Amino acid sequence: MGWLRHAFAVRVDGAEQLTAAEEALVERFCRALVRRRLTAAAMVALETVRPLSGLAAQALYFLSPLLSLVVSPNQIDQWAAFLQRPDALEILCQRLEAFQTEQDGTNGSQVCSPPGPPAEDPAGQDAAYPEEPVQKDIYRTDRP
């Protein structure tokens, strides 16, 4: 009956720490995304495919012969082993937010800030939307 005791066990947060190789892999990936300003797109993609992370790891193993033409087989195996972890995508999301915050120099976790209102012209006209002169003779009527 000892196996039943572990059947419904819940993982404790931080029970498994990242190895040095996994830490370097995650940091290199997240910093590359932040440098290219793809943090928001990556966060959306990671949250969307969260239920399929185990399947993504198996797909990496399946496609490793083709991917080995572009990436070293060692990196493919490291990514596949990392994605097998149930908390892998959560770790990636947290690191992306941390590196984005570090790059922005702010303390908030907001990835994109909304634009402010357009500036007002002292004459009462919107500077963002200037009036353009309207052409009256757009269509010529003297054609047969």
**What percentage of residues in the chain have a pLDDT greater than 70?**
62
Please name which of 54, 46, 56 lies closest in space to residue 90, comparing C-alpha atoms.
46
Q: What are all long-range contacts of 83-91, with beta carbons under 8 Å and residues at least 24 apart?
A: 83/53, 83/54, 83/56, 83/57, 84/54, 84/57, 85/16, 86/11, 86/53, 87/11, 87/16, 88/53, 89/46, 89/47, 89/49, 89/50, 89/53, 91/18, 91/26
* Length of the chain as a residue count: 144
Residues 57-105 have pLDDT tens digits of 999 999 999 999 999 999 999 999 999 998 999 999 999 999 999 998 8
Residue 80: count of CB within 10 angstroms of its CB: 18
**What is the reported pLDDT for 10?**
62
User: Region 104-109: what's the mean pLDDT?
Assistant: 61
Mean pLDDT of the chain: 79
**Residue 108 identity:** G
Residue 53: the pLDDT is: 86
